[in-house]
Amino acid sequence: MKINFWGAAQQVTGSMHEIQVGDQRILLDCGLVQGKRREAFDQNAHLPFSPSEIDAIVLSHAHLDHSGNLPTLYKQGFRGAIHTTRASMELCSFMLADSAHLQEHNSQYIERRRARWQQIQMNGSTSAVPPLYSMSEVHGVLSHFVPIRYAQEREIAPGVTTALGVAGHLLGSAFVNLVLDEDGRKVRVVFSGDLGRPGLPIIKDPDPAPQADYLVLESTYGDRVHPTESTAKEKLCNCITRTVARGGRVIIPAFAVGRTQQIVLLLHQLVLEGRLQDIPIFADSPLAINITEIYRNHPEEFDTEMQRLIVDEKDPFGFRRLRYLQSSAESKSLNDLRKPFIVISSSGMCEGGRILHHLKNGIEDPRNLVLLAGFQAQNTLGRSIAEKRSIVTILGEQYTLRAEVEMFDELSGHGDQKDLVEWVRPVARGLKKIFLVHGEKKAQVALADLLRASLGVSVIIPERGQKFDLTNS
Is 372 in contact with 291 (CB distance < 8 Å)? no
Do 407 and 460 lie in a common domain? no
Do 374 and 306 lie in a common domain? yes
- Segment 347-372 shows an average pLDDT of 93
Q: From residue 259, how far is each of 71, 106, 242, 373, 384 by CA, in Å? A: 24, 23, 22, 7, 20
Q: What's the alpha-carbon Rg for the chain, to the nearest Å? A: 22
Do 303 and 434 lie in a common domain? no
* CA atoms of 190 and 427, how far apart (whole Å): 11
| DSSP β-ladder status, 404-407 and 322-325 | unpaired
| pLDDT band, very low/low/confident/very high, at 188 (cuts 50, 70, 90) | very high
Here the CATH number for the domain that contains residue 11 is 3.60.15.10
pLDDT of residue 189: 98
Alpha helices, H only, 349-410: 355-362, 381-386
Domain boundary (367, 386, 411) is at: 411
Among residues of the chain, what percentage have pLDDT more than 70? 96
pLDDT of residue 106: 76
- Segment 345-356 shows an average pLDDT of 89
| pLDDT band, very low/low/confident/very high, at 108 (cuts 50, 70, 90) | confident
Q: Please give the backbone phi and psi of residue 195, each rounded to the nearest 5 degrees, phi first.
A: -90, 130
pLDDT (tens digit per residue) in 420-441: 999 999 999 999 999 999 999 9
Total domains present in the chain: 2
* CA atoms of 154 and 357, how far apart (whole Å): 45
- Segment 16-24 shows an average pLDDT of 97
Range of the domain at 361: 229-411
Answer yes or no: is pLDDT of 70 > 90. Answer: yes
* CA atoms of 86 and 77, how far apart (whole Å): 24
Answer yes or no: is pLDDT of 117 > 80. Answer: no
Here the CATH number for the domain that contains residue 287 is 3.40.50.10890
* CA atoms of 300 and 289, how far apart (whole Å): 20
pLDDT (tens digit per residue) in 25-66: 999 999 999 877 788 899 999 999 999 999 999 999 999 999
Q: Which amino acid is at 371?
A: L
Answer yes or no: is pLDDT of 220 > 60. Answer: yes
Q: Please give the backbone phi and psi of residue 423, each rounded to the nearest 5 degrees, phi first.
A: -70, -35
What DSSP letter does each residue of 363-376 carry, written as one string?
A: TT-TT-EEEE-S--
pLDDT (tens digit per residue) in 435-467: 999 999 999 999 999 999 999 999 999 999 999
Among residues of the chain, what percentage have pLDDT more than 90? 73
Nearest by Cα to 212 from 432, 468, 417: 432
Do 141 and 277 lie in a common domain? no
Answer yes or no: is pLDDT of 391 > 70. Answer: yes
pLDDT of residue 308: 83
- Segment 290-312 shows an average pLDDT of 88
* CA atoms of 423 and 430, how far apart (whole Å): 14
- Segment 373-384 shows an average pLDDT of 89
Q: Please give the backbone phi and psi of residue 27, each rounded to the nearest 5 degrees, phi first.
A: -100, 135
pLDDT of residue 121: 57
| pLDDT band, very low/low/confident/very high, at 127 (cuts 50, 70, 90) | low
* Torsion angle of C-alpha atoms 350, 416, 461, 432, degrees rounded to 10: -140
* CA atoms of 39 and 43, how far apart (whole Å): 6
Q: What angle do CA 310, 343, 116 make, to 5 degrees?
A: 145
181: left (phi over 0), alpha (psi -120 to 50) or beta: beta
pLDDT of residue 3: 98
pLDDT of residue 122: 54
* CA atoms of 428 and 421, how far apart (whole Å): 9
Q: From residue 122, how far is each of 113, 118, 125 by CA, in Å? A: 11, 6, 10
Do 270 and 397 lie in a common domain? yes
Do 41 and 59 lie in a common domain? yes
Domain boundary (376, 391, 411) is at: 411
pLDDT of residue 123: 56
Average pLDDT of the chain? 92
Do 241 and 171 lie in a common domain? no
Nearest by Cα to 87 from 29, 32, 152, 166: 166
Q: Which residues contact 68 (CB under 8 A, 6 or more apart)?
A: 31, 32, 95, 96, 99
pLDDT of residue 410: 84
Do 325 and 426 lie in a common domain? no
Do 210 and 330 lie in a common domain? no
Do 380 and 462 lie in a common domain? no
Nearest by Cα to 171 from 235, 234, 70, 255: 255
Do 404 and 422 lie in a common domain? no
Is 473 in contact with 5 (CB distance < 8 Å)? no
Answer yes or no: is pLDDT of 383 > 80. Answer: yes
| pLDDT band, very low/low/confident/very high, at 125 (cuts 50, 70, 90) | low
Do 122 and 259 lie in a common domain? no
In the beta sheet, which residues pair with residue 437?
218
